[in-house]
Amino acid sequence: MSGDCACLSRFPARDFKTAREADDFLTRVRMSPVFRYSGSDAGEVTRERFRCRTCGRDWFLRIPQNPPYWWGPLFEKKEETAPPPVVPPPPLQATAPPPSANRTPVASPIFLEVAGVRHERIGEFDVVYEDEAADDVAVVMRALLNWRPGLRTWAANAGLSQVEIELGARIEKNANLFDLFAATWPPDLVNPGWRAMRAGKAWRPVHLRGIRRRDAGAANFDGEYYLLVVNVKMENVVAWMMSEAKV
């Protein structure tokens, strides 16, 4: 219907047969100005929740252990194992799901560390890197824009004051990706398949920060944080995770 809100017309309820399909769709939701991320419910069935900025309708992506996965308005699909309504959590330091008696916040909030001796403005982005990463900057930028072309308009569409990209030191060859992500997120949220995913010598972690507000003189920020691994030889993103960041 022509009178439908953008959340209904552009992101209608649907099922996903594969995790890859659900993951790609969820990235579109996160990068879209239509929604505001509102949290995750952890348990046997994980749910990522979003609220439409226009009509206030609540949506969620239902993520059970195995497909199919399901996206739709919060009130349209009931689950036998559905958890009780969740009160919005207080500001968290580094992880999207709220802490509980059985879950702890991140052990090492590495995404709040802004390192790098070089700070450079490249197009719409502020890029931070060490001298050893200088030759990889252009490659990483191409890889990120191929991964998500919408990055160029992310700040304007999502009301961000700054988009910051920080290149980390190359990952040690044959290190598993699970350990890299588990340094920031609780291990039970990290893809267990990454334990067997061994890094190549051309793999580099990249910190992507969509910043709404940053404390003066501090690395802490309010916005969205992505940790990605980029294969600078192939110029592609091989793995990534995202969470809401709070000052």
The pLDDT tens digits for 41-51 are: 655 455 678 88
pLDDT at 158: 84
Residue 214: which region, alpha, beta or left (left: phi > 0; alpha: psi -120 to 50)?
Answer: beta
**Where would I find the H helices in the chain?**
6-10, 19-31, 137-147, 154-158, 177-182
Per DSSP bridges, beta strands 35-41 and 46-52 are antiparallel
**CA distances (Å), origin 83, targets 38, 56, 102, 104:** 16, 21, 15, 19
Geometric angle at alpha carbon 152, from 243 and 60, rounded to 5°? 35
pLDDT at 103: 32
Mean pLDDT confidence for 203-219 = 83
Per DSSP bridges, beta strands 125-129 and 162-167 are parallel
pLDDT at 82: 38
Per-residue pLDDT band for 140 (boundaries 50, 70, 90) equals very high
Query: What's this model's pTM, rounded to 2 decimal places?
Result: 0.58
pLDDT at 109: 47
Q: Hey, what are 191's tokens?
A: 């893809």
Per-residue pLDDT reduced to its tens digit, 30-71: 888 888 887 776 554 556 788 888 888 888 888 777 778 888
pLDDT at 150: 86
pLDDT at 65: 72
**Residue 242 buriedness (CB in 10 A; 0-12 / 13-18 / 19+):** buried
193 phi, psi to nearest 5 deg: -65, -20
Amino acid code (one letter) for 191: N
pLDDT at 43: 53
Give the mean pLDDT of the chain: 77
**Distance separating alpha carbons of residues 17 and 226, to the nearest angstrom:** 25
Per-residue pLDDT reduced to its tens digit, 72-123: 886 543 333 333 343 333 332 333 333 333 333 343 445 555 666 788 999 8
Percent pLDDT > 90 in the chain is 19
pLDDT at 41: 64
